[in-house]
Amino acid sequence: MNKGHGANIFKYSKSGELLDFSSNINPYGPTGKVKKNIREHLDLIARYPDVSYGKLFEALERYLGADKSHISLGNGAMEVIDAAISLYENIVIFEPAFMEYEIRAREQKKNIKKINLDASFKPDVRDLDFDLKNTLVILTSPHNPSGVSLTKKEFDEIYEKVSESGGAILMDEAFHEFSSVSYDLAKEISKYKNLFVVRAATKFFSLPGLRFGYMVSNFKEKIDNHIPTWSVSSLVENLGEDLFFDEEFIISSKEKLAKSRNKLFSELQKIDGIYPIPSDANYILIKTDFDNEKLFQNLLNKGILVRKCDNYDNLGHQYIRVAVKKDEDNEKLVKALKEEENERF
Residues 13 and 41 in one domain: no
CA–CA separation, 271 and 276 (whole Å): 10
Question: Is residue 316 helix, strand or coil?
Answer: coil
CA–CA separation, 242 and 250 (whole Å): 12
Residues 234 and 85 in one domain: yes
Mean pLDDT in residue range 116-137 = 97
Domain-terminating residue out of 182, 212, 244 = 244
Give the per-residue pLDDT at 6: 60
Residue 2 domain flag: no
Domain-terminating residue out of 193, 228, 244 = 244
Mean pLDDT in residue range 132-149 = 98
Report whether 196 contacts 169 (CB < 8 A).
yes
16 confidence band (pLDDT: 50, 70, 90): low
CATH (domain of 24): 3.90.1150.10
CA–CA separation, 249 and 231 (whole Å): 27
Residues 145 and 191 in one domain: yes
Helix (H) or strand (E) holding 200: strand 195-200
User: Among 207, 212, 211, which Cα is nearest to 72's?
Assistant: 212
Is residue 208 reached through a cis peptide bond, with omega within 30 degrees of 0 on the bond before it? no
CA–CA separation, 78 and 81 (whole Å): 5
User: Among 180, 317, 310, 331, which Cα is nearest to 268's?
Assistant: 331
Strands 19-20 and 304-305: parallel
Residue 68 domain flag: yes
Residue 209 domain flag: yes
Residues 276 and 128 in one domain: no
CA–CA separation, 203 and 33 (whole Å): 17
Percentage of residues in the chain with pLDDT exceeding 70? Answer: 96
Digit-coded pLDDT (tens) for 286-339: 999 999 999 999 999 999 999 999 999 999 889 999 999 999 999 999 999 999
- Return the sign of the alpha-carbon dihedral for residues 241, 245, 250, 252: negative
Domain-terminating residue out of 229, 244, 259 = 244
Digit-coded pLDDT (tens) for 70-97: 999 999 999 999 999 999 999 999 999 9
What is the pTM for the complete model shown?
Answer: 0.95
Residues 64 and 83 in one domain: yes
Give the per-residue pLDDT at 289: 94
Give the per-residue pLDDT at 7: 52
Residue 196 domain flag: yes
Residues 340 and 255 in one domain: yes
Report whether 243 contacts 201 (CB < 8 A).
yes
Residues 192 and 233 in one domain: yes
CATH (domain of 52): 3.40.640.10
pLDDT surpassing 60 at residue 38: yes
Residues 252 and 272 in one domain: yes
Digit-coded pLDDT (tens) for 169-217: 999 999 999 999 999 999 999 999 999 999 999 999 999 999 999 999 9
Residues 40 and 75 in one domain: yes
Residues 236 and 289 in one domain: no
Strands 168-172 and 307-308: unpaired
Residue 4 domain flag: no
Helix (H) or strand (E) holding 216: strand 213-217
Residues 188 and 78 in one domain: yes
Give the per-residue pLDDT at 116: 97
Residues 18 and 37 in one domain: no
Q: Domain span at residue 340? A: 9-29+247-344
Count the domains in the chain: 2
CA–CA separation, 269 and 272 (whole Å): 8
